[in-house]
Amino acid sequence: MSEREDSNTRERILAAAADIIAEDGMTAKLSVRAIAARVGVSTGSLRHHFPTQQALRDEVMRRAYDWMLADTDIHNSTIPARDRLVECLLQVLATARAGAEAREAMTAVSTAFIVADQNEQVRETYLAIQRDGQRRTEDWLRVLAAEGGAPDRGDIPRLARFLCTVLNGIALERALPAEDSLSQLEKQTLYVAADAVLGDHS
């Protein structure tokens, strides 16, 4: 099989997995046999590209978030590091929506990951989402660290986890009743978090 054919097979596998998730919900079971049958390849071929269901789900989720999140200015060193980091975090928050849409989104998350039975598909899906958020945040911090805009590179996983936890809290808060618009408070909170992560390097 040529490299081009190999790449095409990989893309068709991802498209089939994405179709199953679109049809059955984000915690749908990604059966190796079902996907292989849709694509018209052997299960061995599918395993060649994605050795585990988790690897397949991780890649589908990564592609979905690549599509949802616009390009960031994280590489634009003419903008202060803290501003770039906060803008990246705000882009993630934008996917959580606001008001009634935020409540619908949080209800869907709660139904899928808290109320539902904690089976393998639920666990795989949650971990794929969590890993993708962690990876993106670590990537942003690595860019800033390379410029001298973040502390010790060894701290990046821990600091990225902190920022993801802050985002989760704000996303939940958006779904709860509030007296005033939260947008200004959210931005202030993200600047506090960015300053805590970047220290004197921002």
> Is there a single domain that holds both residue 46 and residue 88?
no
Name the residue among 164, 165, 145 with its Cα closest to residue 154.
145
Going residue by residue through the chain (202 aa), what tens digit of pLDDT does each one get?
A: 566 667 788 889 988 888 888 788 777 888 888 899 999 999 998 899 999 888 888 888 888 777 766 677 899 999 999 999 999 999 988 887 777 888 888 888 888 888 878 888 888 888 888 988 999 999 999 999 998 866 677 899 999 999 999 999 998 888 888 766 667 789 999 999 999 999 865 5
- Is the same domain home to 40 and 121? no
Q: Same structural domain for residues 33 and 82? A: no
Taking a C-beta distance cutoff of 8 angstroms, is the pair 85, 151 a contact? no
> Per-residue DSSP letters for 38-60?
HHT--HHHHHHH-SSHHHHHHHH
Residues 112 and 14 in one domain: no
* CATH code of residue 149: 1.10.357
Position 74 in a domain: yes
What does the pLDDT read at residue 124?
A: 85
| Domain extent for 96 | 69-201
Decide if 64 is inside a domain. no
Q: What is the CATH number of the domain that holds 30?
A: 1.10.10.60
pLDDT at 86: 95
Does residue 193 share a domain with residue 113?
Answer: yes
> What total number of domains does the chain contain?
2
> Kind and range of the H or E element at 106?
helix 99-110
| Residue 63, domain member (yes or no) | no
Say what the pTM is: 0.77
Residue 97, phi-psi category: left (phi > 0), alpha (psi -120 to 50), beta (remainder): left
Residue 142 and residue 170 in one domain: yes
pLDDT at 156: 94
Pair (32, 95) in one structural domain: no
Copy the structure tokens of residue 148: 């001298």
Q: CA-CA distances (angstroms) from residue 94 to 57, 90, 97, 99, 183?
A: 23, 6, 5, 12, 11
pLDDT of 180? 61
Considering the domain boundaries, does residue 32 fall inside one?
yes
